[in-house]
């Protein structure tokens, strides 16, 4: 396969031989979902393509490589000295076959190992990974990336993404509220309001993954509340991250909750080269992550010009290390401590 064959916007499935890959089980379905996520996959392809000259002769690590699509991009779009494709799961066996199928076995070496136990031939110039989860950190693959960074990335080496941001907006969610709460008021002409408190506990205490926020349901301009610099952030920093927000309501409506998403930023290897961004928000092309909705216990009517001020905290679970609790504290047009509302959302799979 020639470089031009995969630099003209072809679908990712074509150039990793996905047609010949038989997917079985949850893990394979997940990889199919990620490969089918064109904004995600194309962003990584564009990062490699736009840095192809600078990657020549470099050593690259693709951590958590899955099917190896990023490793294959590196091998076919640039001329790296070597690509180390690292995958802890049994998927690594399929990745090796995909590497051979695409004629990249002289450049790409697959390592089936965890980041904590990994042994490589030497240090790398670039560490690339797609580690982001819902609400940016969920499942905490980032810890493995940072451990690999500290052990295997050369001094002055590049991390891709080089930074990431968590973005937040107060929002309306009429459809979800009707479905989860208002339904119980008079279903089929019967009074089932007794079950509303149970529904509130069951549905409103959990975040809604894969939420598709409509731009017209944003009550304010979104704001970045937490930014991670991938060069300086430490594993210990992941235990607790906090961001502050202050929103001015731009249109009157019903404040049902907060919607959260993330963006990942890719710095160029060239000093004056262009940086690229993968944005998973409602103003960008939809990704498999979509957004995450956190609903209040009861909606609040807000007017244009109102202020919603507060904070978001991401607290890693001390025992179940892939999980976390997201805590919102906020008030509306208030300065008294007594007006501050707080709600906790455990994030589990």
Has residue 2 got a pLDDT over 70?
no
CATH code of 3-130, in short, is 3.40.50.150
Q: Residue 204: what pLDDT?
A: 85
Q: Residue 35: what pLDDT?
A: 79
Tell me whether domains 3-130 and 163-349 share a fold: no
CB contact burial 109-146 (16+ within 10 A = b; e otherwise): bbbeeebeebebeeebbbbbbbbbbbbbbbbbbbbbbb
Distance from the Cα of residue 141 to its chain's centroid: 10
Mean pLDDT of the chain: 89
Q: Residue 191: what pLDDT?
A: 76
Has residue 16 got a pLDDT over 90?
no
Catalytic member of 87, 96, 130, 143: 130
Which one has a higher pLDDT value, 149 or 198?
A: 149
Beta carbons of 217 and 121 less than 8 angstroms apart: no
Residues 238-266 have pLDDT tens digits of 999 999 999 999 999 999 999 999 999 99
CA distances from 229 to 64, 80, 127, 289 (A): 20, 25, 14, 21
Mean pLDDT value of segment 159-187: 86
Q: Residue 8: what pLDDT?
A: 45
Residue 53: pLDDT band by 50, 70, 90 thresholds? very high
Give every CB contact of residue 316 below 8 A, 6+ residues apart in sequence: 137, 140, 238, 239, 240, 323, 324
- Which structure tokens are listed for 249? 């309501």
Residues 259-310 have pLDDT tens digits of 999 999 999 999 888 999 999 999 999 999 999 999 999 999 999 999 999 9
Pick the closest to residue 297 from 251, 330, 252, 336 (CA basis): 330
Q: Residue 186: what pLDDT?
A: 67
Q: Residue 130: what pLDDT?
A: 97
Mean pLDDT value of segment 197-218: 88
Percentage above 70 pLDDT, the chain: 86
Catalytic member of 13, 27, 97, 139: 139
Q: Residue 10: what pLDDT?
A: 45
Q: Residue 71: what pLDDT?
A: 98
Residue 18: pLDDT band by 50, 70, 90 thresholds? very low
Highest mean pLDDT among 12-21, 181-190, 305-314: 305-314
Q: Residue 178: what pLDDT?
A: 79
Has residue 107 got a pLDDT over 90?
yes
Residues 23-50 have pLDDT tens digits of 345 666 766 777 789 999 999 999 999 9
Has residue 154 got a pLDDT over 80?
yes
Q: Please confirm, yes or no, whether 130 is among the known catalytic residues.
A: yes
- Which structure tokens are listed for 172? 């309306």
Helices (H), the chain: 12-15, 25-36, 38-50, 52-55, 69-77, 91-101, 142-152, 174-180, 196-203
Q: Residue 188: what pLDDT?
A: 77
Q: Where are the domains of the chain?
A: 3-130, 163-349
Q: Residue 335: what pLDDT?
A: 62
Percentage above 90 pLDDT, the chain: 77
Which one has a higher pLDDT value, 190 or 232?
A: 232
Task: Quote the strand ranges of the chain, DSSP E.
Answer: 59-63, 82-86, 108-111, 124-129, 153-160, 163-171, 208-211, 223-229, 240-248, 253-266, 276-279, 291-302, 307-316, 324-332, 341-347
Min mean pLDDT across 84-98, 117-131, 231-245, 324-338 is at 324-338
CATH code of 163-349, in short, is 2.70.160.11
Q: Tell whether pTM > 0.75.
A: yes
Let me know if 235 is exposed, middle or buried by CB neighbors in 10 A (0-12, 13-18, 19+). middle
Residue 7: pLDDT band by 50, 70, 90 thresholds? very low
Distance from the Cα of residue 323 to its chain's centroid: 14
Q: Residue 183: what pLDDT?
A: 64
């Amino acid at each position: 396969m020639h470089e031009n064959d995969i630099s003209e916007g072809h679908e990712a499935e074509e150039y990793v031989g996905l047609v010949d890959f038989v997917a079985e089980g949850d893990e394979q379905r997940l990889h199919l979902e990620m490969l089918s996520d064109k904004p995600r996959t194309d962003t990584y392809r564009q990062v490699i393509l736009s840095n192809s000259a600078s990657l020549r002769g470099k050593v690259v690590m693709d951590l958590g490589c899955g099917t190896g699509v990023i490793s294959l991009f590196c091998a076919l779009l640039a001329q790296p000295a070597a690509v180390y494709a690292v995958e802890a799961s049994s998927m690594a066996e399929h990745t090796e076959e995909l590497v051979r199928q695409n004629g990249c076995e002289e450049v790409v070496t697959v390592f089936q190992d965890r980041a904590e136990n990994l042994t490589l031939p030497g240090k790398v110039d670039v560490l690339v990974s797609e580690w982001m989860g819902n609400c940016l950190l969920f499942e905490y693959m980032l810890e493995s990336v940072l451990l690999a960074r500290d052990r295997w990335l050369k001094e002055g080496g590049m991390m891709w993404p080089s930074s990431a941001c968590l973005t937040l907006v107060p929002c309306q969610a009429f459809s979800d509220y009707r479905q989860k709460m208002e339904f119980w008021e008079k279903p089929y002409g019967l009074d089932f309001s007794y079950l509303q408190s149970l529904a509130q506990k069951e549905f409103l205490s959990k975040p809604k993954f894969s939420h598709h926020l409509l731009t017209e349901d944003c009550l304010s301009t979104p704001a970045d509340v937490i930014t991670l610099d991938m060069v300086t952030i430490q594993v210990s920093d992941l235990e607790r991250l906090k961001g502050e927000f202050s929103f001015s309501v731009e249109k009157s409506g019903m404040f049902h909750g907060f919607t959260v998403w993330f963006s990942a930023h890719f710095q160029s290897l060239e000093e004056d080269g262009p940086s690229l961004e993968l944005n998973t928000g409602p103003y960008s092309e939809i990704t498999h992550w979509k957004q995450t909705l956190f609903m209040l216990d009861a909606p609040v009517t807000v007017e244009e010009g109102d202020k919603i001020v507060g904070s978001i905290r991401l607290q890693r679970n001390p025992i179940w290390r892939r999980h976390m609790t997201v805590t919102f504290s906020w008030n509306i047009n208030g300065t008294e401590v007594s007006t501050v509302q707080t709600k906790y959302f455990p994030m589990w799979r």
